[in-house]
Amino acid sequence: MDLLLHDRTYLVTGGSSGIGDATIALLLAEGANVVTCARRPDVLAAAVARWSAPSGRVVAVPADVRDPDAMAALVADAERAFGGLDGVVNNAGQSRMAGLDKVGLEDFRDELDLKFSSVLNVVQPALRLLEHSPVASVVTVNAVLAKQPETRLVTTSAARAGLLNLTKSMSVEYAGRGVRVNSVCLGLVDTGQWRRRYESSGTEEDFATWERQIAADRGIALGRFGHADEVAHAIAFLLSPRSSYVTGAALDVCGGVARGIF
């Protein structure tokens, strides 16, 4: 199926690895232009080389999503390079593995700041460009934690619940301006974070065995972690005009770990 992304322009935060990397690779394969950022210049440069995109199709800038001036400048870069924006993927973020007895109020503040600023700092300046696109779409990468709290990730699950609520509010607020807003809610995905946890776990088992054990412990119906490209395809669909009647939705890409009916 042609997703009708050819010659469209998309801004993807956290593009240097994992889901952001896979999403950008897919968008480029579909013929889109991409603007992206990541905090580490060396990792970002390696990603750009890996994509092997045609000249002029990618703008990649080392920047932190928590910096509103940097995000406004990134949006300006998109306008200068491609004349506008057709979509935004809010992908930057991380999870904090800690229970309630190990965190304080400052930890909650920090998580809320990251989850909210990584979206608002990008979408607010991008809105003036998005509303001129006939196919404008925003996709926020969230997690099923937003809908089913996890005591081992207490600050992150609380912040993600707030982000899900914020994204729903944005979908209502921006609908009249022709901008669709949706969420992709992840389960466990095999990215750098989980590889680092495996390496620091001290286990003598190989990654595949360790992964299956965690999947069983977390109740993942498919019995494995997801892969970044599986998430990227869901994101691309929600960006695409093929999903033109979808807004305010939260699409679970979680291998069946979601235990609620909602």
Tens-digit pLDDT profile for residues 15-44: 999 999 999 999 999 999 999 999 999 999
More confident residue, 193 or 171: 171
The pLDDT value given to residue 50 = 94
Q: For all residues of the chain together, what is the average pLDDT? A: 91
Residues 165, 216, 249, CA angle at the centre, nearest 5°? 20
pLDDT of residue 262: 57
Longest CA pairwise span in the chain (Å)? 55
Among residues 61, 69, 17, which one has the least CA distance to residue 37?
A: 61
Is pLDDT larger for residue 157 or for residue 90?
90
Residue ranges of domains in the chain, CATH in brackets: 9-189+227-253 (3.40.50.720), 190-225 (no CATH)
Coil vs helix vs strand at 101: helix
Least confident of 49-53, 101-105, 190-194: 101-105
44 and 15 in contact (C-beta within 8 Å)? Answer: yes
The whole-number pLDDT of residue 163 equals 95
CB 18 within 8 A of CB 228: yes
Binning pLDDT at 50, 70 and 90, where does residue 204 land?
A: confident
- Residues above pLDDT 70, as percent of the chain: 94
Does residue 234 have a pLDDT over 90? yes
CA distance 203 to 210: 8
Cα within 13 Å of Cα(90), Cβ side: 32
215: its two tokens: 């999947």
Residue 246 near residue 238 (C-beta atoms within 8 A): yes
List, for residues 121-176, the tens digit of each pLDDT value.
999 999 999 999 999 999 999 999 888 877 777 888 888 999 999 999 999 999 99
pLDDT, position 160: 92
The pTM assigned to this predicted structure is 0.93
